[in-house]
Amino acid sequence: DGGITQSPKYLFRKEGQNVTLSCEQNLNHDAMYWYRQDPGQGLRLIYYSQIVNDFQKGDIAEGYSVSREKKESFPLTVTSAQKNPTAFYLCASSDKRGSYNEQFFGPGTRLTVL
Amino acid sequence: GQSLEQPSEVTAVEGAIVQMNCTYQTSGFYGLSWYQQHDGGAPTFLSYNALDGLEETGRFSSFLSRSDSYGYLLLQELQMKDSASYFCAVTRGQNFVFGPGTRLSVLP
């Protein structure tokens, strides 16, 4: 089955530590995205990538970093510079065949920083 | 800047029809999408409007008026499983801006 996987589902870290969230897709999609969702809020775009080895900052990129070395993978690192990292993180992908209109989301990672 | 507005909550009874509105102010507008998200889950795509008018997919319909910067999602024959949050999202080429979402509660 094609889809997007994110691991782990729940993640706990101590304040001041960097942490990397995994996102893998086997849909052969060109574009991948990272969003942050806080309780009762909408999704805010952190970073997105339209092609391998290229990525763009979204609306709230400060304190985060990404890489896109392979088409299937788009890991997100939450650095110690991110002031309020506790949130629900969602990875998504889309494809030019659908004119990028439809996004497919992974199950999310809930990060708690203690 | 970019901003989208949605009512925070809507309540309706099973079998009824509900309309959830979305207004937006954004540059580089390509179209308006709608997503459903159940508590603790991932958003799932419902519909996309690039042109003015109504798009229908089963019990779900979505409307767009570009001149009014306004759209809505219409759900008919409400079921308990429709209780979820519904987000509108503006497509700007290859990235998206999401609204704050409307939480729909369906009562028996």
Cβ count within 10 A of residue B10: 17
Indicate the length of chain B as a whole number: 108
Residue A102: per-residue pLDDT? 86
What pLDDT shows up at residue B27?
A: 76
Each residue's pLDDT tens digit, A30-53 = 999 999 999 888 899 999 999 999
**Dihedral angle of Cα B59, B72, A3, A11, to the nearest 10 degrees:** -120
Question: Do the chains contact at B98 and A44, CB–CB below 8 Å?
Answer: yes
A18: left (phi over 0), alpha (psi -120 to 50) or beta: beta
Strands B84-92 and B95-98: antiparallel
| Chain A contact probe: residue of B4, B88, B95 with most A CBs at under 10 A | B95
A107 touches chain B (CB under 8 A): yes
Q: Does A38 touch chain B (CB under 8 A)?
A: no
B43 contacts on A by Cβ (under 8 Å): 43, 90, 103, 105
Amino acid at B8: S
**B1 has a pLDDT exceeding 70:** no
B44-67 pLDDT, tens digit each: 999 999 999 999 989 999 999 999
Handedness of CA B78, B25, A64, A51 (dihedral sign): positive
pLDDT in the model for residue A100: 63
